[in-house]
Amino acid sequence: MNAIIAQRAPGFRPKVGAILGSGLGSFVEAVKAVAVIPYGDLPGFPETTVSSHAGNLVLGHVGPTPVAVLQGRAHYYERGRADEMKGAIQALAELGCETLLQTNAAGSLRLDMPPGSLMAITDHINFTGANPLFGVGPGHGRFVDMVDAYDPALTRRLLAAAKKVNVACHEGVYIWFCGPSFETPAEIRAARILGADAVGMSTAPETILARHAGLKVVALSLMTNYAAGLVPGPLGHEQTIAVAKEAAQNVKRVLCTFLESYGA
């Protein structure tokens, strides 16, 4: 795998790896690309089955910062494997990345955080009962410390980037449900009692894998809907994609500002 990447982008060493969530794949337009490699060409990378996840590794620069952008992810619900992103995240670490920057589309559990809002993730709740480190053997660091899993210093810099470009950005706790069905109103009431601010079907397993690989993590959620039961009306993936496309420019501005000053 690394030999393939080295052949396509000789000598390229990214500092930041990024995962683009549903409807946010257009961020790659901000990357001055050195190489674009389909996941299918890279052993260990996932096969994405969600239409809004293109499935490319984009190597290049955002400002002075060398980045490796994963244009889409695979989810636990696609094949029942929590470690779907293991090979991709290990590849980022082996390429030289020190930080994983995650994005996702999420449902808001707060009326003051309507669709289109951004939220920096400060912590997560794993509500699935699954873990991507199941099966990791003794001697391979399976007991990963998850205190400050979302790096506080990097989170402050992400919030500062949002403020610099006049984009409101909340802070809060993300709760991972396995999907693919949306949560029930009762489940959302339970999530609120547990202290969650946003709900989604990704991100937590990638954070666990990244911490296991020694990467720092910083994450940004885009609220694409209110979670079930907060307001009247049905939920659907089409709504997620539509709102994500509308808000993609704000996400792009925040991420570009964060990455352009990453090494400062």
Active site residues: 22, 53, 75, 77-78, 105, 201-202, 225, 237
| Contact between 257 and 264 (Cβ < 8 Å) | no
Q: What are phi and psi of 154, to 5 degrees?
A: -70, -35
| 177-195: b (≥16 Cβ within 10 Å) or e | bbbeebbeeebbbebbeee
Distance CA 153, CA 161 (A): 12
* Three-state DSSP class for residue 21: coil
CA-based nearest residue to 119, from 183, 196, 51, 17: 196
Could you give the maximum distance between any two Cα atoms of the chain, in Å?
53
Burial of 92 (0-12, 13-18, 19+ CB in 10 A): buried
